[in-house]
Structure 1
């Protein structure tokens, strides 16, 4: 079970909620809540508005839902605060890239870091 499934199912059990209850509370279609709770692996995180509504429906902080959704989609969540606006722009831009483009960016970063380690 992935992190988003665990979060949804935990909140359902804890509060005796159904998929419909969460959907009504968050303003989402019941089918969306059901799919997020039953899909084993997300190909990508849900849209930001879906995450916001799911957080409202589950009555948990948005960052909790974002982190669980990212993990469920195989992404790593950066927990450190970012004070450099260039980094914020780059990270936000990654969401607009296709999975193939993100793999290229990841390979470039690894290559740059490996080159730096060899120089040290």
Structure 2
């Protein structure tokens, strides 16, 4: 069963008639990275934020939903603080459950959360 990130990529490819190479070129990331993210049911670790931002650019979608979908694909449980049910995909707060993560992966999650919070503050101001 595909994860949310795989579904997101497949939907955009189908809608636009794009290839992995098209997405890679548009996002400034490698074709092999796009292929890996599109075909891996479970990611071994959270991809770098710059990689996910490139994927979002390549797909022509906001970064926040891509970041959340990648976190879920990496096995990070996410929930949204102070958010109503059926949250808008632009919500910027991501809280991860880190009990099963390595110290390196925890640092990636912390950087992701910090980035999302900063993005929210700049949009509000």
- Class of the TM-score when normalised by the shorter of the 2 chains: 0.5 to 0.7
2:103 equivalent to 1:98: yes
The separation in 2 between residues aligned to 1:55 and 1:35, in whole angstroms, is 15
Normalized per residue, the structure richer in helix is 1
Bigger CA radius of gyration? 1
Change beyond 3 A, Cα 1:100–1:79: closer
Per the TM alignment, residue 100 of structure 1 is displaced from its structure 2 partner at its CA by 9.5
TM-score, length basis structure 1: 0.67
The separation in 2 between residues aligned to 1:100 and 1:60, in whole angstroms, is 25
User: 1:16-31 residue pairs with structure 2 within 5 A?
Assistant: 16-31=17-32
Aligned residues: 93
For the aligned residue pairs, the C-alpha RMSD in angstroms reads 3.0
* Kept in 1: contact 2:45–2:105 (CA 8 A): no
Per the TM alignment, residue 25 of structure 1 is displaced from its structure 2 partner at its CA by 0.3
Structure 2 residues not aligned, in runs of 5+: 83-92, 107-125
Structure 2 match to 1:57: 58
Q: Deviation string for 1:43-102 (max 9, x for gaps)?
A: 112100001100100111110100110111111223226xxxxxx9x97x99x943898x
TM-score, length basis structure 2: 0.64
